[in-house]
Amino acid sequence: MSRPPTKAGVKQVVRPETVYVSPYTWNIKYSKAEVLKHHPNGDACGSCDLESMTIAIDPGKSEEYARVTLLHEILHAAIRSSDPNIESDAEEMAVASMTGPLLACLRDNPEVVAYLIGK
Q: Is the pLDDT of residue 8 over 70?
A: no
In this prediction, residue 72 carries a pLDDT of: 97
In this prediction, residue 22 carries a pLDDT of: 85
pLDDT tens, residue by residue, 19-47: 999 889 999 999 999 999 999 998 899 99
In this prediction, residue 119 carries a pLDDT of: 85
The residues facing 54 across adjacent strands are 27, 49
In this prediction, residue 13 carries a pLDDT of: 82
Distance CA 92, CA 97 (A): 8
Residues 101/78, Cβ–Cβ less than 8 Å: no
Q: What fold does the segment set 18-117 form as a domain? A: Arc Repressor Mutant, subunit A (1.10.10)
Look at residues 26, 51, 47, 25 and name the one whose alpha carbon lies nearest to residue 37: 47
In this prediction, residue 42 carries a pLDDT of: 86
pTM for this predicted structure: 0.86
Distance from chain centroid for Cα 108: 19
Residues 75/86, Cβ–Cβ less than 8 Å: no
Domain ranges of the chain: 18-117
Q: Is the pLDDT of residue 82 over 70?
A: yes
Task: Report the pLDDT averaged over residues 92-115.
Answer: 96
In this prediction, residue 75 carries a pLDDT of: 97
pLDDT tens, residue by residue, 41-75: 988 999 999 999 999 999 999 999 999 999 999 99
Q: Look up residue 96 and give its amino acid.
A: A
